[in-house]
Structure 1
Amino acid sequence: MNRPELVTRSETSASTTLERPPSAQTWLVVTMVVLSGYLLSLTGCAGTQRSSFPVVVKRTQMQMGTLVTITSVAPDRQTAQAAASAGFQEIHRLEGLLSTWIESSELSRINAAAGKEAVTVSPETMQILRASGKIARLTDGGFNILVGPAVDAWSVLDRQEVPSDATLAELRALTDLTALHLDEDRMAVRLAKVGMRVDVGGIGKGYAADMAVGAMKKVGASAGVVALSGDIRTFGLLPDGRTFPFGIRHPRREEALLAYIDLQNEAISTAGDYERYFERDGARYHHILDPATLQPARDCQSVTVVAPDGVTADGLDTGIFVMGRARGMALIEQMPGVGAVIVDRDGKVWVSSSLRGRVRMNEESVGR
C-alpha cells in the first residue's frame, strides 16, 4: 500500500530519538518515541512512488535551552520543510524576547530595572505576562512567575541545600505578584522592588509552541506537532486521518509509560517532581515551589494537563501541582475543553471526567 513520506532531520549533535534530553520533563522521551514509531510506520516500502501523498517532516534543534522537535505535515516536501523552518524561526524570535539568559531580552531588561523604572515591551511580552496573571488567579497563586529567586536559593541541581527559614522569609517579599505592574496603555512593565525577577519558564514554552503552530499554518502545513521538552502542541491529523499518539511518563519508573493519549488540535504539558530534585533524610526536595511557603509542593508526583492551547496547558500543570490533587482537579472540572491526569503523593492516578475514555493506562505500570 502506498503511504505518506517521512523525512527525519536532526539539526543538533544528538539524534532525534533521545535517551535523555537536557530538560526537566524528560517524559518527552517516551512521548516522542510513541509518535516516532507511528510516523515510521507511514513510510511504506523504500522506493515506492509517493508523490501524490502528504509528506511528514520531523526536525530537531536546540532552542530555549532545550531540544525542540517539530513534525510538519504538508502536501509536498518543500512546504513541509518550509513550515518546520517557520516554526523554528518563530521560537528563536520569541527566545530573544523572553529568555532571562539573554541580557538584551525584554525580560532581562525588566529584571535589571526592578525597583527603578518601567520598561517598554512588545505585544508578545505583554501578552504572556497577562496570561501568566490569569493562570495565577485561576490557581489561587499556585502559578507564580516571580518565584525565581527562591528557586535559586534551593538550587536543587547544584548546591542541593535546604534554605533557612530566615532566607525564605526574606525572599517572600520578592514573589508578590501585586508588585508586578503592567501598563497596557503605555506597553510598559515595572517590578516595584529591587531584587524581583520575572521568569516565564513555566509558561513560555507553551506560548512558543502556540506561536510556532501559527507560523507553520501560514506557510501551508496541514498538521503537525511542536514539542519543546514536555510542552507539546498539535494541530490537524496524521496523513491517514488518525490523531497524534503520545505517552505520559510514569513519575517513579524512569523511562516507563504510565498512560497513552491521542491528541488533535490540543496541547499537553506535564509538571513532575522526578527530574530536578535531591533527597535529604528521606525527603525529596524538588524545583516546583509553593509560592505561599517557598517550599516544594508535596501533594502530587506529577500533573499532566491537556488543553486547547499550550499556554493553558503549560501554566496549569505547575499551578495545579501546587494546588494539590483535590483542589486542582476541582478546578479542571470547571474548565471546558481542559483535562488532567494527576498522580498524587501516594502514587494513585486520577483522571478528569473529560479525559475518561481517552486516556489508556499502561497496565504494566499501574500500581507499581
Structure 2
Amino acid sequence: MQAGRKTEDDGSSMKIAGRLAVAVVLSVIVVGLFLQMGRKPEKHLYKETRSSLYTLVTITVVGDSPEKARKATSAAYDELDRLGRLLNFYAEDSELSAINRNAGIKPVHVSRDTLEIIKTAVMVGEQTDGGFDVTVGPIVKLWDFKKKILPSAAAITEKLSAVGYENIVVDEVAATVFLKKSGIQMDLGGIIKGFAADKAVQSLKANGIEDGIVAVAGDIKLFGRQPDGRPWNIGIQNPRAEGDKDELFATVNLGTQGISTSGDYQRYFILDGVRYHHLLNPKTGYPESLCRSVTVIAPEAALTDAYATGIFIMGPQKGLAVLERLGMDGVIIDRDGKVLMTKGIKDKVHLL
C-alpha cells in the first residue's frame, strides 16, 4: 500500500470513527441534561426586619424561592404579634393583665402559650435562686435610666414586699395561673423575647423553612445551617467596647440553638463613678455588679433569655455551676474582665 492512497477500508474506518464521535457528543449532552435536571436549586439568604413586641425583630431564612420565604416570614411575624397581644403587660385585654388584675383574688384560666411561658419563668426562678424573677417589675419602674435618677432606699424597700416568684401558682391540669398575694404583678419582659423567637421558628418550620435565624432584639433562635452547609456564626459583644459599640470580643459556631446575652452595658448610667444598670437583683432592688455580661446557649431561646439574666444576678462562679449542672453552655465575663466558659462550649468559641 502506497502512502497517501485512500482505500475502501480507510473510508469505513472514518465513517465508524465519525459515528462514534457523534455518539460520544450526544451522550455528553444527554448526561449534561440529566445533571441539570437533577441539580438542586441554589439556596440564598432572605432577610426582613419589622417592629414587634416593642422591639425590632429580624428574621433570616435560607431558601430557593423568594415567594416561599416571604410567605413563611409573614406567618412568623403574625405569630409574634399574636404572642404580643396575649402577653402584653400594658394592654388591659391581654391574658397577662387579667392575671395581674386578679392577684390575691382568684386563679385565671389561660391559653397553653401563657401557661407554658409562666411555668418556664417559675422554673428558671427556682433554678437561679430567685436571680430571675418575673415579679420584679415594680422595682424596675422605680429606676429611670434616661434621666439618671436614683430611687430612694425607702421606695425600694416598700416595693420589695411585692416581689417574689414564689407567689405564682401554675395549675397545669386546670390551665390556670394565680398570684397568691395582692399587689404582685408579673412582667414577662425578661423571657418573652426568647419565648417568641422559639414560637416564630416553629411557625417557619411549619411553612417549609428548614434553616434560618429569628432575632428578637438580642435574643436569638437559630435552626439548621447556612446556605453553604456551615454552622451559624454568632458574635458576642464586647461589654466594654470604646467607640464602636458593636465591637465583638468573641464568635461562636452554633446549630439549632438559642443564644442570649445580658450585660451591664445595655441600659445604664454612671453617677459618681458608679455604674447603675437595668439588671436588678430582685432581693435587693439594686443593680448587681458581679458580672459585665453573661451569654447563655441552650436548645430553647426562652431558656437562654431568662437564664442570661438569672445567671448574671447569681454571679460568675455560682452561675457557671448552674449552667454545668443543667447541661447548658455559657460565656461569662466577670466584673474584672475575666472570661469564664462552660466545658462544652470552649471548642466552639473563638476569642477575637
The bucket for the TM-score relative to the shorter chain is 0.7 to 0.9
CA shift digits 1:94-128 (9 cap, x unpaired): 11111213221111222222233332211100100
> 1:344: which partner in 2?
334
How far residue 335 of structure 1 moved from its aligned partner, in angstroms, is 2.3
Q: Which of 177, 181, 188 pairs up with 1:200?
A: 188
Structure 1: gaps (5+ residues) = 1-49, 363-368
> 1:360: which partner in 2?
350
SS of the equivalent of 2:142 reads helix
CA distance change for structure 1 residues 304 and 169 in 2, over 3 Å: closer, same or farther? Answer: same
How far residue 172 of structure 1 moved from its aligned partner, in angstroms, is 1.4
Alignment of 1:197-276 (within 5 A): 197-253=185-241, 254-276=245-267
Residue 299 of structure 1 pairs with residue 287 of structure 2: no
One-letter identity of the residue aligned with 1:125? T
Distance across 1 between alignment mates of 2:90 and 2:238: 31
Distance across 2 between alignment mates of 1:177 and 1:67: 28
Residue 121 of structure 1 pairs with residue 123 of structure 2: no
One-letter identity of the residue aligned with 2:349? V
Contact 1:266–1:307, Cα closer than 8 Å, also in 2:
yes
CA shift digits 1:225-252 (9 cap, x unpaired): 0000110000001121111111111001
Q: Which of 302, 308, 330 pairs up with 1:317?
A: 308
Q: Which of 279, 282, 287 pairs up with 2:270?
A: 279
SS of the equivalent of 2:228 reads coil
Distance across 2 between alignment mates of 1:177 and 1:292: 11
Normalized per residue, which structure has more helix? 2
Contact 2:122–2:168, Cα closer than 8 Å, also in 1:
no
SS of the equivalent of 2:322 reads helix
> 2:24: which partner in 1?
none
SS of the equivalent of 1:360 reads strand
How far residue 155 of structure 1 moved from its aligned partner, in angstroms, is 2.3
Contact 1:325–1:344, Cα closer than 8 Å, also in 2:
yes
> 1:58: which partner in 2?
47
> 1:183: which partner in 2?
171
Distance across 2 between alignment mates of 1:193 and 1:164: 24
> 1:22: which partner in 2?
none
What TM-score, normalized to structure 2?
0.85
Distance across 1 between alignment mates of 2:286 and 2:344: 31
Distance across 2 between alignment mates of 1:156 and 1:280: 11
> 2:60: which partner in 1?
71
> 2:90: which partner in 1?
101
Give the percent of matched residue pairs that are identical in Structure 1 and Structure 2. 42
How far residue 51 of structure 1 moved from its aligned partner, in angstroms, is 8.4
Distance across 2 between alignment mates of 1:186 and 1:351: 41
How far residue 154 of structure 1 moved from its aligned partner, in angstroms, is 1.7
Q: Which of 55, 59, 69 pairs up with 1:80?
A: 69
Distance across 1 between alignment mates of 2:127 and 2:182: 27
What TM-score, normalized to structure 1?
0.81
The alignment yields a C-alpha RMSD, in angstroms, of 1.5
SS of the equivalent of 1:130 reads helix
Distance across 2 between alignment mates of 1:223 and 1:126: 28
> 1:47: which partner in 2?
none
